[in-house]
Amino acid sequence: MHEVNVYAREGKHGRTHWQYDFRVELPDGKVYRERRKARGANTEAAARRIGEARMLQVIREGQRSAKKDARAAPTVAEFAAEWLALGRSERQSPCTLKNRRVMLDKHILPVLGDRRLDALDEKALLNLRNHLAEHKSSTVNLIVRSLMAMLRCAERLGHKVRLPKVKPLAEVRERHWYTPHQYEALVASAATFGPEHLLTILLGGDAGLRSGEITALHWEDVDFEMDTLFVRRNFADGEERAPKCSKTREVPLSDRLRAALLALRRISEPTGHVLVRDDGQPCRNYLLARRIAQVADYAGVPAYGPHALRHAFASRLMLSGSGARVVMDLLGHSSLQVTQIYTHATADHRRAAISRLSTGTGEAPART
């Protein structure tokens, strides 16, 4: 509720005059402050009446201005509905639309929903970030990026928009992977559970497949004569589509991966998806994670999830002396910079590198 403050001031020649001040937030989100002399007021009550009349005038002028500009600058909530409808008309993926709605309904609209697009400044974005303080920096940055994407869309459609600039929060990403020793413990543990669990581990750790590529793998993608996997699909956003970077890649079968595939093929339908649920439907990511957790618990190693197996695959390739370009091709990356994220030097690897350096021969000294 708006309030007028009134106080007396002693001027020149010892004469007392009354002043008022008030602060109101206008419909466009701007804050208006005014401090003036209450001319003609001889008492506190009279000064208050003058101040309240002036404050009411400012509020009414702000409301008239907001109505005048309403078509040119909708509120965040009004344009959010238009933005989502535009996404549906452009046939954006259901997952993308769902994520946008969650971020809007849960985080953005409760804080900024009634603000006009042309009133969103740096202060408004910082206010949003303050409301998200309990979330990880990466989550906060994702929500702010989503809001900015919506504002840029509004600008392209001709709406009057402000595009405030706020420096992203620093993100600390903790990456997990399995060491070669931990990975071999997983493989040994998975073999005691059966071919489905073993293939869940090997397709990630011996072939470097993404979780969506594992669940989208068909028997027709496995060529036993060539000992090769053809990665043609990736399950993402509720559907099977071309893999990342939109290119099919070939991954040679390791001996134990080939044996595990043959073992499963002997007891399952040789068509359709390789990994399926009990009801015959394709396996999905949650089931991969559950199987890995079961195997990891039995092996006594951390349960990091499917992507940690892909990291382990890349690191083991580098430890074996494979070049970065080969690793990039096997992982299906578009650049070497992405591949470098997936490679991790172990203590043994670092020790061997220093040993080779110290001998001056480029070869590690023989251990006795």
- Could you please report the per-residue DSSP string of 148-214? HHHHHHHHHTT--------PPPP--PPP----HHHHHHHHHHHHTT-HHHHHHHHHHHTT---HHHH
- In 3D space, the residue among 32, 40, 36, 43 whose CA is nearest the CA of residue 20 turns out to be 36
**Whether 2 is catalytic:** no
Phi, psi of 282 (to 5 degrees): -60, 145
Distance in angstroms (rounded) separating the CA atoms of residues 290 and 268: 21
pLDDT at residue 66 above 90? Answer: no
Fold exhibited by the domain 76-156: DNA polymerase; domain 1 (1.10.150)
- How confident is the model at residue 366, as a pLDDT? 45
Q: How confident is the model at residue 367 (pLDDT cuts 50, 70, 90)?
A: very low
pLDDT at residue 357 above 70? Answer: no
* More confident call, 90 vs 201: 201
**Whether 210 is catalytic:** yes
Distance in angstroms (rounded) separating the CA atoms of residues 277 and 215: 10
- How confident is the model at residue 240, as a pLDDT? 84
Q: Average pLDDT for residues 21-25, to the nearest whole number?
A: 89
**Whether 152 is catalytic:** no
Domain ranges of the chain: 4-69, 76-156, 180-353
DSSP annotation of 334:
S
Q: Average pLDDT for residues 186-209, to the nearest whole number?
A: 94
- How confident is the model at residue 351, as a pLDDT? 59
Q: How confident is the model at residue 255 (pLDDT cuts 50, 70, 90)?
A: very high
**Whether 333 is catalytic:** yes
- How confident is the model at residue 224, as a pLDDT? 94
Lowest mean pLDDT of 104-108, 221-225, 327-331, 361-365, name the range: 361-365
Lowest mean pLDDT of 42-51, 91-100, 198-207, name the range: 91-100
pLDDT at residue 23 above 50? Answer: yes
User: Is-above-0.85 flag for pTM?
Assistant: no
Lowest mean pLDDT of 60-69, 105-114, 125-134, name the range: 60-69
Q: How confident is the model at residue 347 (pLDDT cuts 50, 70, 90)?
A: low
Q: Which of 218, 244, 265, 284 is catalytic?
A: 244
Q: How confident is the model at residue 80 (pLDDT cuts 50, 70, 90)?
A: very high
pLDDT tens column, 154-173: 988 888 888 888 888 876 66
pLDDT tens column, 307-317: 899 888 888 88
Q: Which of 48, 131, 162, 307 is catalytic?
A: 307
Q: Which of 107, 159, 258, 333 is catalytic?
A: 333
Q: Which of 310, 311, 316, 344 is catalytic?
A: 310
Fold exhibited by the domain 180-353: hpI Integrase; Chain A (1.10.443)
pLDDT at residue 359 above 60? Answer: no
Residue type, 130: N
Q: Average pLDDT for residues 177-196, to the nearest whole number?
A: 92
Q: Which of 159, 210, 249, 273 is catalytic?
A: 210
**Whether 310 is catalytic:** yes
**Whether 344 is catalytic:** no
The full length of the chain comes to: 368
Q: Average pLDDT for residues 16-39, to the nearest whole number?
A: 85
Dihedral angle, C-alpha 307, 308, 309, 314, nearest 10 °: 100
**Alpha helices, H only, the chain:** 44-69, 76-89, 94-103, 109-112, 122-131, 137-156, 180-191, 195-205, 211-215, 255-266, 285-299, 306-319, 324-331, 336-341, 347-359
CA 91 to chain centre: 21
Q: Average pLDDT for residues 272-285, to the nearest whole number?
A: 89
Phi, psi of 160 (to 5 degrees): -75, 115
